[in-house]
Amino acid sequence: MPGWAALWFVVFAVAYGTNVPTPLLLHYRATLGFSPTALTTAFGVYAAGLVPALLLAGPWSDAVGRRRVVVPFVALALVTTLAFLAVPAAPWVLFAGRFLQGAVSGVVFSVGTAWLGELMSTTGDGGARAARLTAVALGGGWALGPLVSGLLGQWARGPAVLPYLVHVALMLPALALLPRVPETLAPEHRRTGGPLVNLGVPPGSGRAFGLVVAPIAIGVFAFAATAVNVLPLELEPVMPGIGVAVTGLVAGLTMGTGVVVQPLVRRLGTTWAGAIALALGAAGIALGLLADLTGAWPLVVPVSVLLGLAYGICLATGLTLVARLADPAARGALTGTFYACSYLGFFVPVLLAVVGGGHGFVPGLAGLAVVSVLAAAWLATPAARALVTPRPSPTPPERPAPRGPAAPHPAAPPPPG
C-alpha cells in the first residue's frame, strides 16, 4: 500500500471515532439524566479541545516534521475511545473524552491534511485532488461513525460499549499502517524560530482568507452541527423509541451527502461554490425550522441532505482555497487555521440555545437562516470572487530568433547527426 493510501486510512479511522458518541448522547440523557444544556455542552466541548490544537499543531509540525506530531495523537485517539467505556460509571468522562477527541482531531486533521497533500504532490497529483481525497476521508469517517453508532446504540446489546469497540477495531490497523507513511518535510525546509502560534496566512492574502475562506469554513460545521445536534434534541419527544437511531441516520446522511457532493465542487467552480453552499445551508435551516414548529420529524431527511450538501461543498471549497493560498513552508499552519475556523461551528448549537432562552431553538434557527442568506449574497459578489481568483502568470517576453540556420520545429525529429 502506498504511503498516501495508508495515511488516508489513518485519517478516516480517526474521523470515524469523532462522532461515535454523538447519537449516544440521547442514550446518556435517558440513562444518566443529562439535561439538554449538558448535552449541547458535551457536543461543544469537543471544539474547546480542538481549536487550540489546530492553531498549535500546524506550526509545530512545520518545525519538527509531520510524523513526530501525528503518530502520538493517533495513539491517543485509541486511548480516548477506550475511555468512553467508563461513561456509565463516571459521567464526567464524557466531557473529558470529548475534550481529548477535540485535541486529537485538531492535530490529526490539520497536520494529516498537510501531510497527505505533500504525499500527493510527490506523485504528480495536484492540491485539488488531495483536498478531495481528504474531504472523502473526513466525511466518510464522520458519516459512518454516527450511523453505525446510532443503529447499535438503539437496538444492540451493550449500547454504551459495542459502538466504541467497533472504532477500536478500526484504530488497530490504522496504527499498524503508520510506519508505511514517509516523512515529507525535509529538515532543510522546516521552520526555525518564529511565534508559537502561526496562522500561516501569506502576506497579501489576509483579506481573501478573512472575507471569503473564513465564512466558508465556519459554514462547514455550523450546518453539520445544526443537523446532528439541534434537530434531534428538539424532535426527540415526537420520536419515541427511535431517537438514537434517527440521530445516527441524520448524522450519517448529513456527512455522507457531504462526501458524495465532492465531485460537484469542481464543476461549480471554486469562486462560486462557497455562495452556493451557504444558500443551500440557509434552505436547510429554513426547512429544519418548519420541522421544529410542526413536529414533522420525517422532514429531517431532506434537511439532512440540504445541510449535508452545504457542509460538503464548504469543506472541499475551503480546502481547495487553502491549497491555493498557502505558502509551502506554512501549509500546516494555514490548514490548521482553516480547521480552527470551521470548528467554531460546533459552538452554534450552544449559541442557538442561548439566543432562544426559554423558547427552544426556534429564534436561533431563524437568525442562522438570515445570516446564511446574507453571507451567501456576499460571496456571490464580484468583489468577493475576485479575492480568490488566481491571477494569471505574466507572459515572459519573446526572445529574438538566433541568427544562423533555423531551429527545428519542436514537433519535428532532430536532424541526423
Convert the pLDDT of each residue in 305-318 to its tens digit.
999 999 989 988 99
Say which amino acid occupies 298: P
| pLDDT grade for 200, boundaries at 50, 70 and 90 | confident
When pLDDT is averaged across residues 339-345 and rounded to a whole number, the result is: 83
**Poorest-confidence range of 234-248, 331-345, 403-417?**
403-417
**Cα angle value 265/266/268 (rounded, 5°):** 65
For cell 461513561, name the residue: 87
395 has a pLDDT exceeding 70: no
> Which tens digits make up the pLDDT trace of 359-387?
678 888 899 999 999 999 999 999 999 98
Residues 109, 77, 261, 4, Cα dihedral to 10°: 60
Give the integer Cα–Cα distance in Å for 362 and 182.
50
- Answer whether 61's CB lies under 8 Å from 69's CB: yes
- Nearest alpha-carbon partner for 219 in 32, 375, 76, 38: 375
Give the integer Cα–Cα distance in Å for 329 and 202.
10
- Answer whether 307's CB lies under 8 Å from 286's CB: no
92 has a pLDDT exceeding 50: yes
Give the integer Cα–Cα distance in Å for 245 and 219.
26
> Which tens digits make up the pLDDT trace of 124-175?
445 667 777 887 888 789 889 988 999 998 888 888 999 999 999 999 999 9
Q: What is the DSSP letter of 405?
A: S
- Residues 6 or more apart in contact with residue 109 via CB below 8 angstroms: 11, 14, 15, 54, 138, 339
For residue 193, what pLDDT is reported? 61
> Which tens digits make up the pLDDT trace of 5-16?
899 999 999 999
**Per-position DSSP letters for 302-324, written without gaps between them:** HHHHHHHHHHHHHHHHHHHHHHH
295 has a pLDDT exceeding 90: no
**Cα angle value 79/84/89 (rounded, 5°):** 130
When pLDDT is averaged across residues 299-306 and rounded to a whole number, the result is: 93
The cell numbers describing 385, all together, are 470572487
Residues 38, 40, 46, 48, Cα dihedral to 10°: -80
- Answer whether 58's CB lies under 8 Å from 193's CB: no
For residue 22, what pLDDT is reported? 85
For residue 404, what pLDDT is reported? 45
394 has a pLDDT exceeding 60: no
What is the overall mean pLDDT for the chain?
83
For residue 290, what pLDDT is reported? 92
What residue ranges define each of the domains in the chain, with the CATH number in brackets? 3-182+203-387 (1.20.1250.20)
**Poorest-confidence range of 205-214, 291-300, 356-365?**
356-365
> Which is more confident, 116 or 162?
162
The cell numbers describing 27, all together, are 442514550
